[in-house]
Amino acid sequence: MLLPLMAGLLALTACSTRQMADGYIPAEPDYGEASQWYITDRQGEADVFYVISTETGDYPSAADGSLCHYADTYADSLRLPLLSEMEGVDTLLSGRLNFYAPYYRQCSLQSFESDSLARQRLPLALDDVRRAFAHYLKHQNQGRPFVLAGFSQGALIALELMREMDDSTYARMVAAYIIGTNISQAMLDSVPRIRPAQRADDTGVTICYNSVRDASCTLWPRSAVAINPVNWRTDSQEATLVTEPTPLQPVATQQKDTLTVHLDTASNLLFVSGYSATDYVLPLIGKEGNYHSREIWLYRDQLRENIQQRVSAFK
């Protein structure tokens, strides 16, 4: 499957991407403009810098009718799905912390149907977020500790931010939540900033997990980094999670699932049993029994509490 390959592919330059890309390419976001950010300033002691997942599909451009494979961050209709994820994740995870999420020209879901398309298109998205992160550090962060988080395509990009991070920036990073992708052993070996989390309160570490019904449902090879976000253990001890199964229905109308969650140390996959929802299959590249689209929703309470716990430990 494509997503785990992207960490190595992102080494391509954005310049080569622009030359190679097919179809219409939207205007470059200007991160000096407020419209290119979703920000919640709670006067918190730390920030969450979040890179959203893939919310864009291929669409005909208004400019010339050719197919566009990137989000247009200046088009209201195309911004709405991006905004919806930003608002949702902010509400679920931030707690008392400040929240910063840039709009960026993410590549479309169809881009992940082949390695060559993803290789060609992802660096443009990375270049946008790279510029946004630099702007955030210079103009918005004001020296506060920060949590770096990304989901799916956003997780791939967040990994690249860690690869490029300098010492002074890393010294302020409370933790990195790399959700919905794998971290290869080669990347773990080559990026000293990636230190696998071992417990609930270590800092400067990377949190990664992937939830499945069983090993046959995975979308990618074994991740070298994995932890159970329910009990924050790296062994196979089971944990019980009681939660509403889907964000697509009002919480008050749902019967809660009682899930058993344990980390299978052979595959480093999070095995989840007892899940009742059937709305979780990722379009185009997903498979039944893979809970990719619910990686934040299912563990939202645990993630929110853990982010605050790590911030407190860091402070």
Q: What is the pLDDT of residue 20?
A: 42
68 forms beta bridges with: 24, 59
DSSP symbols for 12-51: S-HHHHHHH--SB-PPPP-TTSGGGEEEE----SSEEEEE
First vs last C-alpha separation in the chain: 39
In the chain, which residue ranges form alpha helices assigned H by DSSP?
6-9, 14-20, 76-93, 115-135, 153-164, 167-170, 185-190, 300-314
CB atoms within 10 A of CB 285: 17
Q: Which residues of the chain have pLDDT under 50?
A: 1-21
Tokens standing for residue 66: 């050719």
Tokens standing for residue 149: 């988080």
What CATH number was assigned to the domain covering residues 3-212+292-314? Answer: 3.40.50
Q: What is the pLDDT of residue 22?
A: 66
Q: What is the pLDDT of residue 9?
A: 44
Asked if residue 29 lies in contact with residue 36, where contact means CB atoms within 8 angstroms, the answer is: yes
